[in-house]
Amino acid sequence: MTTHPAPETPAGIGVEVLYELVDDHIAVITLNRPDKRNAVNGAVARALDHLVKQVEADPAVRVAVLASSSPGVFSAGADLAEVSAGRGNELGTRDGGFAGFVDQPKVKPWIAAVTGPALAGGCELALACDMIVASDDSRFGLPEVKRGLFAAAGGVHRLPRALPRAIALELIATGEPMDVARAHGFGLVNYVVPNDQVRDRALALARAIAVNAPLSVRESLKLARLAQELSDGEMRERSRDAGRIVMTSEDAREGPLAFVQKRAPVWKGR
């Protein structure tokens, strides 16, 4: 497991945000402002924007994990000191929105490794991922209404997709956090483990994904992400299109051949 700050990249990479490549196919992006509870400033936003694009463009990367270097918090959301200093416009990017992350187009699977509270913008970062592994002391919530603010980084529309409607509306309207046990019970969280095991459990989930044919995973997730937005007829049409892409790929030939030959498949991602 090695750290790879790439050349000619935003200054925040390797400082406020760390990048690692694990097992050749898993990218781990770690928020690293422990003294600021991983609050998002301009450097974090620019670094995340760059790294998400790097992950999505790298054919070797099959899965990504968004983690925290601090066991006490995932992310406190926006750095209010930056906002009060008039630099609030720097906390997002043109392509990625808040933190350079929440609106960034993502094709590959993303896992949030949540240690400690994920509130406000921190919750919105987790909701912008596909899966969540959380510590047993974590909490999730959108407290913006308590401060006369608005969860504009995807929280208000993503939470009702991830939770039963009435429960999501309760969290949004009250601003009260949900403990991880309740979040897990409603399906917001995939796994709950002790704080010091979150990273390992997230990597185990990532490895279970990375062993599969990357094209099959990407096309399947692309369709699954649209399940609540499109009609059944539109979903069937897109399913046929995705099926043609996958079933005519090199990997679709490699999978059955490897099974017959009793060996592990060698995926090409095409």
Which pLDDT does position 234 carry in this prediction?
83
Same domain, 111 and 200: yes
- 55 and 149 assigned to the same domain: yes
Same domain (yes/no): 55, 74: yes
Residue 268 lies in a domain: no
Instruction: Give residue-wise pLDDT tens across range 22-62.
Output: 999 999 999 999 999 999 999 999 999 999 999 999 999 99
Q: Are 113 and 66 in contact (CB under 8 A)?
A: yes
Q: Using CA atoms, how far apart are residues 132 and 237, in angstroms rounded to an integer? A: 30
Residue 250 maps to which CATH number?
1.10.12
Q: 16, 82, 90, 144: which is the annotated catalytic residue?
A: 144
Q: Are residues 250 and 159 in the same domain?
A: no
- Same domain for 138 and 9: yes
Closest CA to 138 of 194, 99, 190: 194
Q: Is residue 84 part of a domain?
A: yes
pLDDT per residue as tens digits for the range 100-121: 999 999 999 999 999 999 999 9
221 within some domain: yes
- Strands in 2-3's sheet, in edge-to-edge order, are 2-3, 17-22, 26-31, 63-68, 110-114, 131-135, 191-193
Is residue 119 within 8 A of residue 140, CB to CB? The reply is: yes
Type of residue at 231: S
Structure tokens at 159: 């939470």
Residue 100 and residue 133 in one domain: yes
Task: Give start and end residues of each alpha helix (H) in the chain.
Answer: 42-57, 80-84, 121-127, 155-162, 165-174, 180-185, 198-210, 214-224, 232-247, 250-260
Residues 128 and 253 in one domain: no
Identify the domain boundary among 169, 184, 210: 210
Kindly state whether residue 267 falls inside one of the protein's structural domains. no
231 contacts 121 by C-beta, under 8 angstroms: no
- Is residue 250 part of the annotated active site? The answer reads no
CB 121 within 8 A of CB 97: no
User: H or E stretch including 140?
Assistant: strand 139-141
Query: How many domains are there within the chain?
Result: 2
| DSSP-assigned beta bridge partners for residue 78 | 40
124 belongs to the catalytic site? yes
Q: Can you say whether the dihedral through the CA atoms of 184, 119, 102, 157 is positive or negative?
A: positive
State the Cα–Cα distance between residues 3 and 174, nearest whole angstrom: 41
Do residues 30 and 158 both lie within one domain? yes
What integer is the mean pLDDT of 91-97?
Answer: 95
Residue 7 is predicted with a pLDDT of 42
Note whether residue 269 is domain-resident: no
- Asked if residue 12 belongs to a domain, the reply is yes
Residues 148, 226, single domain; the answer is no
Catalytic member of 16, 82, 124, 219: 124
Query: Which CATH number do you get for residue 97?
Result: 3.90.226.10
Q: Are 39 and 75 in contact (CB under 8 A)?
A: yes
Residues of the domain holding 223? 214-260
Is there a domain that residue 266 lies in?
A: no
Q: Give the mean model confidence (pLDDT) for residues 220-238.
A: 86
The SS3 assignment for 197 reads helix
In a domain, 113, yes or no: yes
Q: The pTM is what?
A: 0.91
Residues 236, 197, single domain; the answer is no
* Mean pLDDT of all residues in 200-227: 94
Structure tokens given for 99 = 């933190």
Give the other-Cβ count within 10 Å of 191's Cβ. Answer: 17
Return the SS3 of 103: coil
Ramachandran class of 187: left when φ > 0, alpha when ψ lies in -120 to 50, beta otherwise: left
Are 204 and 115 in a shared domain? Answer: yes
Would you state the torsion angle of the CA atoms of residues 24, 28, 32, 38, taken in this order, to the nearest 10 degrees?
170
Do 23 and 110 lie in a common domain? yes
The model's pLDDT over 159-208, given as tens digits with 9 standing for 90+, comes to 999 999 999 999 999 999 999 999 999 999 999 999 999 999 999 999 99
Does the pLDDT of residue 6 top 50, yes or no? no
Q: Would you state the structure tokens that stand for residue 67, as one six-digit string?
A: 């983690």
Task: At 181, give phi and psi (nearest 5°).
Answer: -65, -45
Whether the CB-CB separation of 203 and 65 falls below 8 Å is answered with yes
